[in-house]
Amino acid sequence: MSRNTELFERAQRVIPGGVNSPVRAFRAVGGTPRFIQRAEGAYLVDADGKRYIDYIGSWGPMILGHGHPEVVEAVQRAVTEGFSYGAPTEREIELAEEILKLVPSAEQVRLVSSGTEAAMTAIRLARGATGRSKLIKFEGCYHGHADALLVKAGSGLATFGHPTSAGVPAEVVQHTLVLPYNDVAALEAAFAAHGAEIACVMVEPIAGNMNFVRASLPFVQAMRQLCTQHGALLVFDEVMSGFRVALGSAQSIYAKALPGFAPDLSVFGKVIGGGMPLAAFAGPKDVMGKLAPLGPVYQAGTLSGNPVATACGLATLKLIQRPGFFEALGATTRSLVDGLLGAARAAGVPMVGDCEGGMFGFFFPKPEQDFSAHPGGLPQNYTEVMATDGPRFNAFFHGMLDRGVYLAPALYEAGFVSAAHTAGDIAATVAAAAAALRG
């Protein structure tokens, strides 16, 4: 019996499903999860001692690769000073200043411990600032597991969602509207019906939880215009895309294409913690000033601004600002995606893909799916993504895993490249893909 199998059997006796986050269980792809023993640079090593080229990167934070020496040094120094104080530190201010320097749309930031916590509080803040209850989210966008966000679409374009998790009462999600991603008509219909009641629109500008799907420019423009027109706040959930797709995050990409564009609130995580539990939400002073202790919107957290986590995040943010960092990272990611698509063409297998900065995704369209009329020839929403060829993806995933390449174990998850990935790693990955696709 392999050590991974042994550990999984042991884990299932004491942890529900044997994992502490559902996607790790390999339920979507089948097989036994790999229990990771250690990581270095672009690689993971599992409990059986097998090494993998890692394209999960802890689901995004490890933009520098695992164990970057300057980040390790910063964390080690912080640990010697204390694990947690429950009191303010100068490093919290430094991290907040660094975030705000890179995000012109925000004037103040509040640090928390997880993306779920940040998104949940951003919604509460939007409701407190506007005095309204309703919110719009989009099918396929994941904003954490807060009750109000665990919803799926109703039967119409502008109908209220209903719970997708046991333990979430229907009345908790009665104020949540769920719309199709990239559907301007549905958005307009929702505002026409409920505009005076909508507190905010929350969106992943580059969705990473239905693989990799970009918000189209007309869609982003419509969100901004409708929110402004109706007095709602536009919330960009950049937990994944923040400081990962560009130094200024996804919003900087849209601001270049749509002059003057900015969201009202932004949610960050992953990269800003460098692999430690740390997240944040940010916005203008007049909105952020509604938070306790200044205002009536309550939020608190014992470990918010943890001194070890802020040391890790601060070191990471400083390193990714070095000249040429994102140009090099983007080129590496593009070479990976181009290589995968080329291997698929050579094998006669339909595949489409996209990337930005250090984030990427690919899909296996079914014969009846034609995305050629779509921007970039890519799926544009959750329904289209979930209709792609799941069995082919699962076979490809295991073919790559067997060949030492660790991809996300589900077709609806984006992938991540780090600065530690070399041209040799990309070449090895493309060679593995060529063999897996032929198989």
Given the residues 237, 264, 354, 389, the one annotated as active site = 237
The candidate with the shortest Cα–Cα distance to 228, out of 198, 253, 249, 205, is: 198
Q: How many other CB atoms are there within 10 angstroms of residue 315's CB atom?
A: 21
Structure tokens given for 13: 């006796």
Given the residues 52, 142, 382, 412, the one annotated as active site = 142
One-letter amino acid at 432 equals A
Structure tokens given for 348: 């006669």
The candidate with the shortest Cα–Cα distance to 181, out of 155, 238, 239, 220, is: 220
Does residue 142 carry a catalytic annotation?
yes
The candidate with the shortest Cα–Cα distance to 203, out of 382, 62, 57, is: 382
Does residue 101 carry a catalytic annotation?
no
One-letter amino acid at 6 equals E
Residues facing residue 45 across a β-bridge: 38, 51
Does residue 382 carry a catalytic annotation?
no
Q: Is 168 left (phi over 0), alpha (psi -120 to 50) or beta?
A: beta
Given the residues 134, 270, 290, 382, the one annotated as active site = 270
Task: Give dist(CA 332, CA 346) in Å, integer.
Answer: 21
Task: Give dist(CA 391, CA 398) in Å, integer.
Answer: 11
Omega of the bond prior to 293 within 30 degrees of 0, cis? Answer: yes
Apex 52 CA angle, 50 and 54, nearest 5 = 150
Residues 279 and 247 sit within 8 Å (Cβ to Cβ): no
Element at 312 (helix H, strand E): helix 307-319
Q: Determine the angle formed by the axes of helices 249-257 and 217-230, rounding to 10 degrees.
A: 90
Query: Active-site positions?
Result: 142, 237, 270
